[in-house]
Amino acid sequence: MNDILIFGELSISNKLRPCVFQLLTKANHLKNKLNDSKLKLLVLCPNNSNFDEMNSELKCYNIDEIIFAINDNFKEFNSDYYCLCIKEIVQEINPKIFLIGGTNIGRTIAPMISNSLHTGLTADCIELDINDEKNLSATRPTFGGELMATIWSKTYPQMATVRENVFKLEKWEENDPHIIFKDYDFQEYKSKISLIKLIKREINSDLSNARIILSGGMGLKNKEGFTKLENLANIMGAQIGATRLAVEAGFASSNIQIGQTGQSVAADLYIAFGISGAIQHLCGIKNCKKIIAVNNDPNAPIFNHCDIGIVDDAFAIIKELEKLLLLKTV
Amino acid sequence: MKQQLKIAVCIKQVPDTNQIKWTQNNTIDRTNMDSIINLCDEYALEMAFNIKEAYKDKQTQISVFSMGPYKACEILKYALALGCDNAYLITDKVFLGSDSYITSKILAQAIKYVFQDEFDLVICGQFASDGDTAQTGVGIAVNLNIPVVTYISSLIEVNDDSIVVQQNFEDSFNIVKLPLKSLMCVINNNCKLRNPNVLGYMLSQRKDIKILTANDLGFERNQVGLQGSPTYVYNAYRYKEDNNREKKIYSGLSSNESSKIILKEVQKLFDYYED
Ligand SMILES: Cc1cc2nc3c(=O)[nH]c(=O)nc-3n(C[C@H](O)[C@H](O)[C@H](O)COP(=O)(O)OP(=O)(O)OC[C@H]3O[C@@H](n4cnc5c(N)ncnc54)[C@H](O)[C@@H]3O)c2cc1C
């Protein structure tokens, strides 16, 4: 009853997603603060999966038990099949804590499981800890971008989702987890949802390895503002990111959103143009080595969280940078 | 073939984050903040109208639900002006402080109360801009015991007893078929949204907003609100300013001078990469 269960989400190429290893890392720290706790991993996969590869990838995380639930309905994501199986296994294991990656799939199944098990769920946490009562303490920013809230849950399992790349990766000495293969049987059950076609997204919008990121907010005013930023990024060999408001306004695509509910990045240099610096944005860039902020409002909170601040018009700076860079290369 | 189609749309009123002004001590100036309809929920309404238009031979009725204070009537009126047929405000002091688990329960109960079992679709926004837990829609589906499809960006086609939609995931676009009697969570796809017209506005003036309370829905005080919610805020604290950052702020320089400061940092990196 003190166990920690992690959901081992697979990508469309049937590999464990990075968030799985990041959650396992954090779970090791949580486990150390609990008595007599086991770390368990649940993976749903089709019959022909590469179990050896997964097992060898999972060697260095002190896992006590890996449960592979196997059924060909897990070839692709179906919320009905996923939820039915996860719910049953969670009830069997009866963990204290159940952690899920904050991906599209994770954010779909986590509330399904929490509602069907009648337990609380905290979404998009940026920190997890064990409190004095030996329960999960989950932290996320509150609305408005000023305060952080620590959330506790009265029910078990205590559930939380965490976005990819929020937690760093650590490894431990190799161990031999106990492995359970479970042929999951849906009997007569048939989901009414079906996948007709899956189209792989070609554009790589993963910013986790980007070294220089030019990021834009509402200060860029419109789509054209982002085109200007993109041009500059091309010249500089940088990638672009955006705030949630800029994404909501349609200036930039949602897959380059940076922050609590977008991506977490760790660039060597992060340059923010017209970004106010709400906590939800800041917690996605805290691992960047150097942060430069360009904003025409000297009171913008981002100036308290940057290395270099420039109080100026974003467009004037973009134009000037472009000019200087082009002059340099010819 | 069923001739009637009943759609429920759940919408939320949220503060307008587009208007945030910062005071000198980095707190939000809340004095002039407006409330608006949550962005994803506008797309949920748009989806409902698209489905209604696609089902030419069916008589479609769209009902909208919102849980919140009386002020939330503003967005319900807006939905009526857009062409929704019925509007329900779910409001009660005892609902205050409900987390998303309880909010889902309350909304699901309201849908059951109004329709018994006679509805075909529930449409929600994927997330609300003020909480962004993205849990409420999915939770409603679980409480109503119907299938759910999340992250829906557009309608592809409607069939007699099913609907085909596009779902946007990180690594793929999925074309998914869902049955009638299911729940859809819709994202902002930047499509053009309709606006209320004069006729819609006039017609909406004649429609009432019906009020549903805890008593109507059969909830006891301790089952909802802060008391009924499994999660609660243990404490809240100010985000520390980052003391590891140098915070060298330049104001009053020419754009050319400032740009050179930035380029120096870029150059440092390239030198470092080349080594
Ligand atoms: C639950 C939740 C989750 C969230 N998740 C995220 C997230 O993942 N990522 C995220 O970014 N946000 C997130 N947000 C939103 C966040 O709180 C802020 O609203 C958002 O980050 C603000 O975006 P912004 O800085 O682009 O816009 P604003 O706050 O409007 O700031 C625009 C800035 O541009 C400046 N400006 C204007 N004109 C110019 C000019 N010409 N030149 C230079 N500067 C100019 C202004 O001074 C201002 O500081 C979330 C919010 C909630 C409630």
pLDDT tens digits for A171-192? 999 999 999 999 999 999 999 9
pLDDT tens, residue by residue, A104-141: 999 999 999 999 999 999 999 999 999 999 999 999 98
> Once rounded to an integer, what is the mean pLDDT over residues B258-275?
90
Give the residue-averaged pLDDT of B172-195. Answer: 94
Ligand 1: which of A125, A161, A162, A218 to mutate, most ligand atoms within 8 Å of CB? A218
Q: Which pLDDT belongs to residue A330?
A: 46
d(CA B174, CA A56): 31
Instruction: Report pLDDT for A162.
Output: 97
Chain A residues close to B131, C-beta within 8 Å? 143
Strand order in the sheet with A239-242: A239-242, A212-216, A269-273, A290-295, A308-311, B248-251
Alpha-carbon gap: B210 to the closest alpha carbon of chain A (Å): 27
* Residue nearest to ligand 1 atom 9, measured at CA: A259
| B149 contact residues in A (CB cutoff 8 A) | 79, 193
| pLDDT number for residue A270 | 98
- Classify residue A6 by burial, with Cβ atoms within 10 Å: 0-12, 13-18, 19+: buried
The interface predicted TM-score of the complex, written ipTM, equals 0.91
What is chain A's mean pLDDT, rounded? Answer: 94
Tell me how far the alpha carbon of residue A203 lies from the centroid of ligand 1, in angstroms.
Answer: 25
> A193–B149: do the CB atoms touch at under 8 Å?
yes
The domains located in chain A, with CATH, are 4-183 (3.40.50.620), 212-329 (3.40.50.1220)
Which pTM value belongs to this model? Answer: 0.91
| The predicted structure's pLDDT at residue B243 | 74
Structure tokens at A243: 């705030």
The distance from CA B117 to its chain's CA centroid, rounded to whole angstroms, is 24
> What domains are there in chain B, each with its CATH number?
4-228 (3.40.50.620)
At B26 the pLDDT is: 56
**What separation in Å is there between the alpha carbon of A116 and the centre of ligand 1?**
35
A278-292, A314-328, B3-17, B189-203: the lowest-pLDDT one: B189-203
The pLDDT assigned to B230 comes to 96
> What span, in angstroms and rounded, lies between the C-alpha atoms of A163 and A250?
22
The share of chain B scoring above pLDDT 90, in percent, equals: 75
Please state the rounded mean pLDDT for residues B124-144: 93
Q: Are A240 and A265 in contact (CB under 8 A)?
A: no
A214-228, B15-29, B165-179: which range is least confident on average? B15-29
In the predicted structure, residue B118 carries a pLDDT above the cut 90:
yes
Cβ <8 Å between B101 and A121: yes
pLDDT digits (tens, 9 = 90+) for A259-305: 999 999 999 999 999 999 999 999 999 999 999 999 999 999 999 99
Question: Which pLDDT score, from 0 to 100, does residue A205 have?
Answer: 78
Q: What is the pLDDT of residue B19?
A: 66
